[in-house]
Amino acid sequence: MNKSLKEDIKVIAKKFLEKTSNEEIQIISHFDTDGITSASIMIQTLKKLDIRFSLKILKSLEEKFIPSLPKDKIILFLDLASGSLNHLKNAGLKEVFIIDHHEVVEKVPEGINIINPWFNEKEKLSGSGLVYLFCNELDQNNTHLGKLALLGMIGDIMESPLENLGDSLKLNKDIKKIKGLLIYPYTRPLNKVLEYNSQPYIPSVTGNPSGVVELLRECGIEPLKGKYKSLIELTEDEMKRLTTSIILRSPRSKNKEMIGDIFLLKFFNKLEDARELSAMINACSRLGRSDIALKFCLEIPGSRKEAEEIHAEYKQHLISGLNLVSKIEKVEGKGFVIINVRDQIKDTIIGTIASILQNSFGYEEGTIIATMAYYEDKIKVSARNVGRSGRNVRKILNQVIKDIGEGESGGHEFAAGCIVKQKKEKELIENLKKNLEIEMVKI
C-alpha cells in the first residue's frame, strides 16, 4: 500500500457506505481513552446516517474472543485488531473494517479493510484521530466531534494533535490552545493539582500534601481566603517560579519537557483542561465503568458527577500503587527494570503506573520499565521505554512470547504489552530478563 493515508480513508469510507447499506454493524472498540473517544465519534456519526449498530468495549482483543463474533454482521474494529489479522482471517466473518494505529506485523488478508498509518510512513495519529477523519469522509458536518479526537490523541500521548487532525479543527470554537506548564488540570486549585499530579511524578510532592505546601511556599504562592489559585490564574512570574521549583526537584527534567501546548476544551458548557478530561475517561474504563466513560464523552447529564467520583477513586489507586512500587523488590539490570506486583495492583492500572515511571525522571533515558500484574489466571505485562527512544519494546515482548511458546502481545515501539498464563510466571521473568540483556548487548 503506497497510497496516502487520506486516499486510503477516502477509498475505505466509500466501500464502508456501500457495504453497510441495510446491514447492521458490530463495533468493537478498545477501553482506553483513545478507544472510548473513537467509539463516541463513530456512534454519533452512524446515528446521523441512520445506520444500525451495536457496540462492545474490550480491555484487549484476545484470540479466544474472535470466534464468538457474529457472522451475519459487518465487524468494525476501532483502536484494535492490527495484531490479530490472521485470527480474523480464519474466523469466517462477513466483512471486516479496522481503523487502528498499532503496529501491523502480518500480511493483510483478503476481505479485511484496514486504515492504519503504518502503511503511510507511520503518520502520527491515534485511533480517535483516524476515526474522526474517517467519519468526516462519511459526513462532512462532523467537525464538532474534533474535540473528542483531540481527547483521544492526548490520552495516547500523541504529538502535535491539532495539526495532524486537519485545518477544520483550527476553527473549532470548542478548542483553545495555550502555552504552559505541563501539569494538569489548569482549571483546579493548584495545591490539589500538585498533590494528585503524577505526570511528571514530583518527588516528595506527588501524593504528599505537606510537600505541596512547602513547594508553594518556596515559590511565594500563598492561598487567598484559604484557597489556592488555579494554574490558569497564575501570573507569568509565579508560573516561572513554580516551573523552576519543580525542575529543581527533578534534576533530569529540562525546561522544554515541562513547558508545552495546553488544550482547553468546552465540555458540558464549561472550558476544561483536555488532559484532565482524558484522564477522567481513562479512569472510568480502568475501574470497569466504560459505560460511564462513554456517557461522559456524549455529554449525557449526570455522567459528569459519576466520572469525577470514579476519577477521584482512581487517583487514590495510582498514589497507593506508586508508593507500593517504590518499596517493592525489583529485578534490575543494565538498561532495564522488571517490577512484578502480582495481585497487589489492578492489571488495568499497572500500565498507567509504567507510563508514570517512564515520565518520572527516576530512570535514565533508554531504560526499559516492565511492570507485571495478575489478570484472572494470567499475567499482564506493560513495558515502556524511558525517553521514547532506543529499543523496540514491542519486538522484545514478541520474542518473549515466542520463547515461552504461548501468549499474546501488542502495542507500539516504545509502549507495549503482553498477556501470559500465570503458571508461566517464572519462565516469563527469566525470558524477559534474557531478552532485555540480549538487546542491550546488541546495542
pLDDT band at 161 (very low <50, low <70, confident <90, very high): low
Average pLDDT over residues 271-283: 91
pLDDT band at 254 (very low <50, low <70, confident <90, very high): low
Say what the pLDDT of residue 2 is. Answer: 42
Q: Is the distance from CB of 28 to CB of 93 less than 8 angstroms? A: no
- High-pLDDT (> 90) share of the chain, %: 49
Q: Is the distance from CB of 247 to CB of 253 less than 8 angstroms? A: yes
Instruction: Let me know how many helices (H) and strands (E) the chain has, helices first.
Output: 16, 14
Say what the pLDDT of residue 443 is. Answer: 42
Residue 300 has pLDDT above 90, yes or no: yes
Out of 255-264, 302-311, 413-422, the most confident range is 302-311
Say what the pLDDT of residue 246 is. Answer: 85
Q: Which of 372, 383, 384, 376 is nearest to 425 (CA)?
A: 372
Over residues 5-57, the pLDDT tens digits come to 889 999 999 999 999 988 999 999 999 999 999 999 999 999 999 999 999 99
361 or 346, greater pLDDT: 346
Average pLDDT over residues 170-176: 76
Q: Which residues lie closer than 8 Å to 136 by C-beta, 6 or more apart?
A: 142, 143, 166, 168
Say what the pLDDT of residue 151 is. Answer: 92
Q: Which of 373, 375, 378 is nearest to 422 (CA)?
A: 378
pLDDT band at 285 (very low <50, low <70, confident <90, very high): very high
201 or 327, greater pLDDT: 327
Q: String of b and e for 383-422 (b: at least 16 CB within 10 Å)?
A: bbbbbbebbebbbbbbbbbeebeebbbbbbbbbbbbbbee
Q: Which CATH architecture has domain 5-167?
A: Alpha-Beta Complex (3.90)
Domain 328-442 = CATH 3.10.310.40: yes
Average pLDDT over residues 373-402: 89
| Distance from C-alpha of 336 to C-alpha of 432, rounded to nearest angstrom | 10
Average pLDDT over residues 197-205: 76
pLDDT band at 171 (very low <50, low <70, confident <90, very high): low
Say what the pLDDT of residue 160 is. Answer: 54
Domain locations along the chain: 5-167, 178-321, 328-442
- SS3 labels along 223-262: CECCECCEHHHCCHHHHHHHHHHHHHHCCCCCHHHHEEEE
Q: Which of 178-182, 206-210, 211-215, 342-346 has the lowest mean pLDDT?
A: 178-182
* Predicted TM-score of the model (pTM): 0.82
Say what the pLDDT of residue 441 is. Answer: 46
Q: Which residues lie closer than 8 Å to 89 by C-beta, 6 or more apart?
A: 109, 111, 112
Say what the pLDDT of residue 251 is. Answer: 60
Mean pLDDT computed over every residue of the chain: 87
Q: Which of 99-103, 194-198, 324-328, 416-420 has the lowest mean pLDDT?
A: 194-198
Say what the pLDDT of residue 374 is. Answer: 94
Over residues 113-150, the pLDDT tens digits come to 999 988 876 667 889 999 999 999 999 888 889 999 99
pLDDT band at 1 (very low <50, low <70, confident <90, very high): very low
| Distance from C-alpha of 354 to C-alpha of 59, rounded to nearest angstrom | 17
Say what the pLDDT of residue 275 is. Answer: 87
Say what the pLDDT of residue 57 is. Answer: 96
Over residues 211-230, the pLDDT tens digits come to 999 999 999 999 988 899 99
